[in-house]
Amino acid sequence: MLQKLPAEPHKTKIIQKLPITKYDERLANLKDVCYNTFNLRSDQVTFDLTSTGTSAMSQEQLSGILIGDEAYAGSRNFILLENVVKSILGHKRVIPTHNMLGARKLIARVLGASGRVVLTNSTLADNLFADNGMQHVSVKKNVTLDKIDPVEFAGSIDIERLNGAINKYKPEGIAFMLIETCPSSGHSQPFSFKNLKDVCRVAKENKIITILDISFIIENAAFIINSEDGNDKKSIGELVREMVREVDLTLMNAAEDCRSNVGGFVTTDLDDLADKLRNQVVVFEGLHTYGGMAGRTMEVVARGLQEMVDERSVCWKWSQIDYLCNKLKENDVPTIRGGNGVYLPVKDFLPQLGYEDNPLFVLSAALYLMGGMRIAIDAKYEELVNSEKSKTLGCEIPWDSFTNQHLDHFAQTIIDLHRRRNDVQGLRQVSTGDWTDELRFDLKWGNKPFCPAVSGIDEYRFEPWKVKAIEHIGFTDKGHRVKAAKEAGYNTFLLKSEDIGIDALTDSGTSAMSFEQWSKMFMAHETPYASKDYEEFVSTVQEVFGYRYVLPTHQGRAAEHICSQTLIKDGDSVPGNMYFTTTKLHQELAGGQFVDAIIDDAHDPDSTFEWKGNVDLNKMQDLVKRVGADLIPYLSFETCVNMAGGQPASMDNMREVYDFCNKHGILVLFDATRCAENAYLIRKKDPKYQNSTIRDILKEMMSYGDGCTVSSKKDCLVNICGFFAVNDRKVYEKAQNMLRIYEGTITTGGLSCQDLAAHTQGVHEMLDYNYIRARVEQTQYLGYKLIEAGIPIVKPPGSHAIFLNARKFFDHLDQDEYPAQVLSIEIFIEAGIRTMERGNVSKGRDPVTSKNYRPNLELVRITLPRRVYTNSHMDLIVDAIKNVYKRRHATKGLRFVYEPKELRFFQGRFEYMP
C-alpha cells in the first residue's frame, strides 16, 4: 500500500508568482475570449489545472537545463536517457521525439496503414491516427459514471469486446493495440494489472503489436498497488517494470509523469521495430539521438524518468488528490477520483442545462470566473462529444506545484459553485469550428449574470505563488534519528542536513528565490567595478528605504561591523531594543557598551502586548540622564525583534523615539533586517494603516531614522547579501573606506553582480502584500495552533519564528539541566524537525562565578524560512510538539560532556542525565 503523507516530502526551492485577479476582471476576460477558457492568456489565469508540462521539477532536474549537450549526434544526454530507460523501464532501445504527438507520428508511420483499426481503451479518437487513415475502435470496459468510484478499474479493456473486435477486423486488419495508462478520455481511470496481462496474452495469440502509453503509468501503478489484490507489497519501480515487460512498445509524453515541460519518446526491445522507428525520426523529428528535443530537454526528461518512481513523491501526489476529492465528497459535490486529478460529472453538476447549453464549457468558464481556475477543453469537437471525455471536466493536479492551501481554494470554489448551480445559465455557440479552441459562445440569457459572484472568494487565503522547483528532504525513521541525535552530541547545530526533515533552524539565507530573481541573476554582467546591477541595487534601496547613501555588504554582520566602527567611539553607550548576538558584539568591538532599552513586556513571554518590539522612552531618558547624550552615538532600533520572538514595534513608537533622539542629537539606526514583516504587522494591527501599502508603511518607518543596517538574508529574500544605508555624507565616506578594506570594492561589497541583481528583485517582492501576508500568517498559523494545543509559547506569535517556552514545557527540569536544549533535540528525535536552543546554553557562563547565566527566557526557536514550507508542514510540526509534550514528564535533562569556552551552543556536546 502507498503510505498517506501528511505533508510534502520536499521543500520549495524556486517559486513563481501567481497572477491574481478580481471577479470583475475575470468577467471581462471571459467576455473577451467569448467564454472559451482555452483562449485566456496565462497572466489572466491564477491556476492552470492541466498537468501537461506544468509540474514542478526537482532541483536536480532543473539543473539539467544547464547540462544540455547540444551536439547534433550522439549527445551525452541521449546516452543518459538510454541508460535510464534501461534501468527504469527495462527496454534497451529508445527513440526520442519532440513530444507525444511526435511519438504517435512515428508509430503511425511504422505500424499504421490506411484502413486498419487501432484497438484501444481510449474513448477519444486519436486525430493523428485518423489523419493517417486509421480507424479508432474502443474496446474499453463499459462502466457508467456512477459506478466508477471507488476503483472499478474502469480503464480496463473488456476482453469480450476485444475478442469480438479481433474477430470482426481480423488480426491483419488491426494496426496495433494501444493501451493508455489512466486515459484522460476516461476520467483518468486505471486498468488493472490482471487486465493488462490478459489483454497482452490475447494480443500475442493474435500477433497484434501492443503499445503501452506510459504517460500516466505512475498513477495507474499507484491504483494497482492500492486496490488490486496481490500487488500491495510491490514498489512503484517494480510494478512499472513488470507492466512494461508485458508490452512490445511504450510511448511517453514526457510532460506528464517525467515532469518535463515538453519531450517524448518510444521504447522497445524489438530491434527491427526500433530500427524502423529510427528511420522515421530523421524524416519527422530530428536525428535518432535527439528526436526533436533540445539536449537540455533530454537531460530533464532522463532525470525526471529516473525520479518518477520515487515512492514518497508518488505518495504525496496520491495524498493530495485524495485530500481534494474527500473535501468535495464531504460537501456532496459529485466527484470522480482520477489518477491525475478529480473529475466533475457535468450532468450531475449542472442538471438544469441541456446539451444545447454547452454545459462542459459552462462549467469551465464558471470555475474560472469564481476562482481563477482554468480547465481548458482541447479536442476536436465532433470527437469530443462522442467520447466519454465530454461527460466530465477534469481538474488535473500537476506534480508538486500546488500546495494544500491551493487545493483548499479549488475545493471551496467548486463547492461554492455547486451550491449555487441553479443560478448558472447556459452558453450558446455563436461560431462554429472543428476544434474546441475555435469555438465562441455568448450568454444564453443576455441580461442575466452568467454565474453569481460569491462574496469572499477574492479574499485569497493561499500562497500567492506556485512551486517551480523542489528539493527532496531527508526522511528517516525514529531509530535512525535517535542514533543521529546521539552522534551529534544532542546538539541540533551538529546534525547533518540529510537527517533533517523540516529545517526550522533559521530563516537566514534559507528563502526560496523566485524564477524572476533567477532570471535577473542570469542577466547580470559580472564586474568588480561599477555596474548596472550595482546602480539598480542602490537606486532600489534608496527608493524603498529612503536613505541617500547605500553600501552593499556580503551579509548583515559586515554592515554591522562597518556601521559600528564608523559611529562608535570608546566608552560610548549604544541603546537597542533587545540585543542581537552579532549586533552587540560589533558594538562592543568598536568600544561601545550595549544598553537594553526595550519595553519590559518584551522580557515576559506571557505578555500579550502587541508591540513588544517598542523602545521604552523612559529607559532612553534614564540613559541620557546617566551618561549624557554625547556618549550615545545612536539608538539601534530593530524591526520585528528577533530575540523577543519576532515582535514588531509600532509606528507611533518609532515616531516618538525619533523625536526624542532628534532632540538630543542621537541618531536612530534601524536594524531593518525584518522590516517588511514589521510593516505588515503595522498594517494588520494599527487601524490607521489598514489601507496603506507595505511600501508606504516601510517608507514612513524608515523616515523615523537616519540610516539602517540590514541582513538581506531575511526579508529581502536572498540567500546572501546585506547593506548599510545612511543619510550623512561623512558617515558614508568613512564607511566606504571600511568597505574597501574589509569587504570588496565599493560597488560590490564583495558580492557578485548576480547577488546584487537577485537582491533588487527580492526587495520588490518583499513589498508585495499578498506575499508578506502569506509569510507572516504562516507563522501566526503555527503559533495559534500551538496555543490551541496548550503548548507554552512566547505570546503573541511573532513574524518569523515561534518560540517555545521550554522552562514551562519541562517544568520538572532545573534550568541547569538545559530544558531548551532538551526540547530542541526531542523535537528532532520525534519528527526530524530542527530548531534552535535560545536559553541557558546560548547565554553561557558568567566569567567571574563560572555559573550559568540562567536567563529569564529559556526558549526554543522554530524559525520559518520564507516560501519554503507549507501549512501542511506546519501541521506536522504541531503534531510532533504535541507528542513531545505528552511525554514531557518522562523526559530527562542533559549535561555537557564537551563545553567550549566561547559560543558553546555551536559546538557543545551533551549526554542525558542518568
Binding site for ligand P61 (CB under 6 A): 506, 508, 555-557, 580-583, 638, 642, 671, 673, 711, 713, 722
Dihedral pair phi/psi, residue 171, rounded to 5°: -55, -35
Torsion angle, CA of 621/627/632/638, rounded to 10 degrees?
-50
DSSP 903: S
Closest C-alpha among 464, 866, 538, 521 to residue 676 = 866
Shortest separation between residue 581's beta carbon and ligand P61, angstroms: 4
Spatial separation of the C-alpha atoms in residues 316 and 320, rounded to whole Å: 6
Place of cell 507554552: 792
Shortest separation between residue 720's beta carbon and ligand P61, angstroms: 8
Shortest separation between residue 909's beta carbon and ligand P61, angstroms: 18
Question: Helical H runs in 285-332?
Answer: 295-307, 311-330
Whether 50 contacts 375, CB under 8 Å: yes
Shortest separation between residue 860's beta carbon and ligand P61, angstroms: 13
Spatial separation of the C-alpha atoms in residues 400 and 407, rounded to whole Å: 12
Q: Which is nearer to ligand P61, 222 or 669 (CB)?
A: 669
Phi-psi region of 187 (alpha: psi -120 to 50; beta: other; left: phi over 0): left
Shortest separation between residue 582's beta carbon and ligand P61, angstroms: 4
Q: Which string of DSSP letters, residue by residue, matches 1-50?
A: -PPPPSS-SEEEEEEEEPP---HHHHHHHHHHTTT-GGGS-GGG-SEE--
Q: Are strands 47-48 and 93-97 parallel, antiparallel or unpaired?
A: unpaired
Q: Which is nearer to ligand P61, 508 or 747 (CB)?
A: 508
Q: Which is nearer to ligand P61, 374 or 586 (CB)?
A: 586
C-alpha distance across the termini of the chain, in Å: 41
Q: Which is nearer to ligand P61, 353 or 862 (CB)?
A: 862
Whether 423 contacts 438, CB under 8 Å: no
Shortest separation between residue 673's beta carbon and ligand P61, angstroms: 4
Q: Which is nearer to ligand P61, 125 or 644 (CB)?
A: 644
Q: Which is nearer to ligand P61, 328 or 513 (CB)?
A: 513
Would you call 671 helix, strand, or coil by DSSP? strand
Shortest separation between residue 659's beta carbon and ligand P61, angstroms: 24
Shortest separation between residue 88's beta carbon and ligand P61, angstroms: 41
Q: What is the 3-state secondary structure (H, E, C) of 763-804?
A: HHHHCCHHHHHHHHHHHHHHHHHHHHCCCCECCCCCCCEEEE
Spatial separation of the C-alpha atoms in residues 313 and 399, rounded to whole Å: 8
Shortest separation between residue 843's beta carbon and ligand P61, angstroms: 12
Q: Residue 502 has which C-alpha cell?
A: 523540516
Closest C-alpha among 382, 390, 364, 384 to residue 433 = 382
Q: Which string of DSSP letters, residue by residue, matches 40-58?
A: S-GGG-SEE---TTTSPEE
Q: Residue 680 has which C-alpha cell?
A: 505588515
Q: Which is nearer to ligand P61, 221 or 836 (CB)?
A: 836
Shortest separation between residue 722's beta carbon and ligand P61, angstroms: 5
Side-chain-side CA neighbours of 894 within 13 Å: the count stands at: 25
Q: Which is nearer to ligand P61, 340 or 506 (CB)?
A: 506
227 contacts: CB under 8 Å, gap ≥ 6: 150, 151, 153
Shortest separation between residue 803's beta carbon and ligand P61, angstroms: 12
User: What amino acid occupies position 48?
Assistant: D
Q: Which is nearer to ligand P61, 383 or 671 (CB)?
A: 671
Spatial separation of the C-alpha atoms in residues 189 and 200, rounded to whole Å: 19
Q: Which residue is nearest to ligand P61 (CB)?
A: 556
User: What amino acid occupies position 122?
Assistant: S
Shortest separation between residue 608's beta carbon and ligand P61, angstroms: 23
Q: Which is nearer to ligand P61, 397 or 859 (CB)?
A: 859
Q: Residue 623 has which C-alpha cell?
A: 540613559
Shortest separation between residue 552's beta carbon and ligand P61, angstroms: 13
Shortest separation between residue 580's beta carbon and ligand P61, angstroms: 5
> Counting beta carbons within 10 angstroms of the beta carbon of residue 167, is it exposed (0 to 12), middle (13 to 18) or buried (19 or more)?
exposed
Place of cell 498537468: 51
Residue 502 vs residues 7, 560, 635: alpha-carbon distances, Å: 10, 30, 36
Closest C-alpha among 142, 104, 108 to residue 123 = 142
Shortest separation between residue 638's beta carbon and ligand P61, angstroms: 5
- Nearest 5°: the CA angle 303, 309, 314 is 115
- Nearest 5°: the CA angle 262, 265, 266 is 160
Q: Which is nearer to ligand P61, 380 or 557 (CB)?
A: 557
Q: Which is nearer to ligand P61, 173 or 509 (CB)?
A: 509
Q: Which is nearer to ligand P61, 256 or 837 (CB)?
A: 837
Whether 594 contacts 584, CB under 8 Å: yes
Spatial separation of the C-alpha atoms in residues 144 and 535, rounded to whole Å: 65
Shortest separation between residue 342's beta carbon and ligand P61, angstroms: 41
Spatial separation of the C-alpha atoms in residues 714 and 721, rounded to whole Å: 10
Taking residue 471's Cβ as centre, other Cβ atoms within 10 Å add up to 14
Q: Which is nearer to ligand P61, 533 or 560 (CB)?
A: 560
Shortest separation between residue 91's beta carbon and ligand P61, angstroms: 50
Q: Which is nearer to ligand P61, 349 or 723 (CB)?
A: 723
Q: Which is nearer to ligand P61, 418 or 557 (CB)?
A: 557
Query: How many helices and strands in the chain, by DSSP H and E?
Result: 33, 32
Q: Which is nearer to ligand P61, 493 or 896 (CB)?
A: 493
Shortest separation between residue 313's beta carbon and ligand P61, angstroms: 30
Q: Which is nearer to ligand P61, 404 or 583 (CB)?
A: 583
Spatial separation of the C-alpha atoms in residues 612 and 622, rounded to whole Å: 20
Taking residue 744's Cβ as centre, other Cβ atoms within 10 Å add up to 18
